[in-house]
Structure 1
Amino acid sequence: MRTLIFKERTILNANLFEKEYQKTTVLNEKIKL
């Protein structure tokens, strides 16, 4: 049970991280231009 919750949390964290990463990448691209 605990491992399942841990896995779901990890997936959520990965998704959040990806979104933040994409945001910063877009910002960096705008700054370059």
Structure 2
Amino acid sequence: MTTFIQLTEIDNVQPLTIRILIAPSDFTEQS
């Protein structure tokens, strides 16, 4: 179970980092 949770956490974090790296302008526009 712990490994499954860790994997899901990584899957949730990666797309966020990719979005920040690819399109930081989206975050600056929102804030």
Q: TM-score, normalised by structure 2?
A: 0.63
Identity %: 16
The residue number in structure 2 matching 1:30 is: none
- 1:17 CA displacement: 0.4
Query: Could you list the runs of 4 or more consecutive aligned residues of structure 1 that deviate by over 2 angstroms after TM superposition?
Result: none
The residue number in structure 2 matching 1:23 is: 23
Larger radius of gyration: 1
Q: TM-score, normalised by structure 1?
A: 0.61
How large is the RMSD of aligned CA atoms in angstroms?
Answer: 1.2
Structure 2 spans left out of the alignment, 5+ residues: 26-31
User: Whose RCO is larger (CA < 8 A, sep 6+)?
Assistant: 2
